[in-house]
Amino acid sequence: MKDWNTFYRNVVLLVFLALASNLFGQTEKAGKKIIVIDPGHGGIDSGAVGINGIKEKDVVLNIALEIIRLNELKPYNNLDIYLTRYKDTLISLSDRTKLSKALHTDIFFSLHCNHSDNPKARGIEVFVSNSIGKYFKHSILMGHEIEKALVHNIGLESRGVKFANFQVLRETVDYFPSVLLEFGFLSNMDEASYFSVDKNLKGFALLLLNELYKIKSYE
Ligand SMILES: [Zn+2]
């Protein structure tokens, strides 16, 4: 009899949880923010190739896919996250920005890894468009927030938030806050080794996802 009671209680609990998650899901959905994450390069364009052979296109895609996976596990997630590519394919830069505009995204993140002829160069660099679009200030603010979080939590060296005339930034800054993240240098042995470990990429993804939930630049 006791077992039956436990079973009954569990069924009631499960039904309640299912109903609750459905209700919360619907309430949250109305206010969901849309995020576009753009894993740089792809296909024949490997991007930077690491001192240990790893490729930028794979590092950034793995991080982006892990962000999607982790977001689906969040019980009350309020972010709709899309990628500009889900596979090892090359998408043109203008198609990446067109897709983001069509989705009416709230935020655009382009993911990259750096490379330098100087093997000692290291650290994270965040880029914002150098053209003064409608979301220029939002982009700078968001760039600083993300940079600070990565530097604090992962211990990457900070190279600051910089301005550049990158196409994906130039074509988006008038529509939504956009930043391009250069995670670290694949030409640096320490950083290339770091990005070769799957567990580190997962940690990176989790940190970025948590930051996406905290960002104050949505409005
Ligand atoms: Zn790149």
Among 63, 73, 90, 36, which Cα is nearest to 204's? 63
Helix (H) or strand (E) holding 159: strand 158-164
CA neighbours within 13 Å on the CB side: how many for 62?
17
Compute CA distances 144 → 46, 103, 125, whole Å.
28, 25, 10
- What is the distance in A from the centroid of ligand 1 to the CA of 24? 39
Question: Residue 14, SS3?
Answer: helix
**pLDDT tens track for 174-216:** 999 999 999 999 999 999 999 999 999 999 999 999 999 988 6
Q: How, if at all, do strands 178-185 and 124-129 pair?
A: antiparallel
CA-CA distance, 186 to 121, in Å (whole number)?
A: 10
Decide if pLDDT at 18 tops 90. no
> For residue range 22-69, what is the model confidence (pLDDT) as tens digits?
444 444 445 789 999 999 999 999 999 999 999 999 999 999 999 999
Per-chain residues with Cβ under 5 A from ion ligand 1: 40, 47, 112
CA dist 95 to 9, 38, 102, 170, Å? 52, 11, 10, 14
Q: How far is the CA of 13 from the centre of ligand 1 (A)?
A: 49
pTM of the model: 0.84
CA distances from 103 to 16, 55, 57, 106, 179 (A): 34, 29, 23, 9, 17
Q: Is the pLDDT of residue 11 over 90?
A: no
Q: DSSP letter string over 56-113?
A: HHHHHHHHHHHHHHHHHH-TT--EEEEES-SSS----HHHHHHHHHHTT-SEEEEEEE
How many Cβ atoms are within 10 Å of 139's Cβ, its own excluded?
28
113 alpha carbon – ligand 1 mean position (Å): 6
Task: Please tell me the distance between residue 129's alpha carbon and the centre of ligand 1 in angstroms.
Answer: 15
For residue 170, pLDDT over 70 is answered with yes
Q: How far is the CA of 28 from the centre of ligand 1 (A)?
A: 34
| CA 161 / ligand 1 centre spacing (Å) | 16
Ligand 1 midpoint to CA 55 (Å): 10
150, exposed or middle or buried, with CB in 10 Å at 0-12, 13-18, 19+? buried
